[in-house]
Structure 1
Amino acid sequence: MDLGLKGKKVLVTGGSKGIGKGIAAGFLAEGAEVAIAARSEEGLREARTELGNVHVIQADLISEAERDRAHKEAVETLGSIDILINNVGGSSGSSVEETPLSSFEEAMQLNYLSAVQFSKAVLPDMKEKGSGSIINISSIFGRESGGKATYNNAKAAMISFTKALADEAASFGIRVNSVAPGAILHPSGNWQKRLEENPEKINQFVKDEIPAGRFGTVEEIADVTVFMASQRASWVTGASLNVDGGQSNMNM
């Protein structure tokens, strides 16, 4: 299926590894021009070697000033941004009682406020063009309990923001959606570390908690994200789509 993405200008935050890198690869395969932003210079070098024709932007996206710089650099590099993928994120802390307030603040900056800032930054140009797609990579744990509170709180806020912005932007031809992955296995992810540390426990988790009987892959998240960004999904906006092999316990 031709998704009509050839020549589209795409920015992927947190694009040097894992799901972000997989999403970048998916857009490149469709003929899009892609820039990825991430903190690690080494990770960006490795991603450029692996992905080939991709633009890299080094920035610490927990910082408001760095996010502003990264957006400006992406526009200078690409000329404009047709598709924004807000993927950067991370998990920290333990129980609510034992997690310092600073960890909640950092989680909101990285997972949530980064998406808000980048979305606000691309809106004026998208409105002028009368088109655009913004996709926020959230989590099934932004929709139900599970995982660390810092992460879940930020991802829940991201999903709420997705619907709010989608309703505002729809009349300008801009679609805003969220993709909510379940447990995804990749070399740089937390699930890989947990699997190596305690394979018996994690294999039992998969058996008990994921009806499909296995972890998801980066490519499976990327395929859905690329489709959602394309005009093949032109009537989809304000949605949060689980991509989880049935792991979520929600009825919707």
Structure 2
Amino acid sequence: MRATRVMAAALLVGAALFTSAGGAFADAPSPSPSANGEDAPTEAGTTFRTATPVEQGQKATANASSGDYLYWQFPAGAGQRATVKATVQLPEASLRHGTATWQLDLFDGLRRRQACASGEPTQRAAAQDASVTVTCTLRTVRPWAERWSNDPLPGAYYARLTVSDGPAQDLGLPVKAEIQADAKDVGGSRAEGGELAPLHAAALKEPESGWNGSWFSDRWAWTVGGAVLGALAAIGGYTLTRHPHRRHRPPVGQ
């Protein structure tokens, strides 16, 4: 019975550890109410230097003209996978002269263009479309990288939205852009050693998990959980061998 109780405790501890590890790397928490409140940006910059800062999960808007280059900047820390979504409300169809291609480009703090791991960063809007949406999901941000690499690093990221192709007569028509940058914390399964100071992020709010991500990773959970289970199993084995079941023997003389 004692050995049974020991093994049951081991299973409970292991289950608790692995369950908490899975929960630790769920999707990033929903933004605070202030992220989408009255303080949300209502304009965009026109260059890298004037890019409008936005928080993760914050929805920013801007009134502009077709042909303008619109810039925003947002933070991303190590272990995060950022997704940017932009929607453009197009001019009335009666004012347009044909199809137009809208493009979303993302750059890191060194202004290096980053490739999209998924999403549709380029979309063609037909003459009758009322809006067009472009998306881009970056690769997971790394805590450090070699100088020659183009890996995404913690710090500021820039989003640039513009029409890349369309009728010249449509340039200057009014449009309204809406953009939001979200980040999912996936650092546990991709944790790496090393740290790097954030790149050009002075104007941005630091992510909740920090620029270099949380120190905790799912590898820690599996390592500690395995050690605990191994120790409890050893205790159970020792208990079985040290106190074997003894058969009932009649008293001497009977």
TM-score of the two chains, using structure 1 as the length reference: 0.25
Larger radius of gyration: 2
TM-score of the two chains, using structure 2 as the length reference: 0.25
Richer in helix (by share)? 1
Higher relative contact order (CA 8 A, sep 6+): 2
Richer in strand (by share)? 2
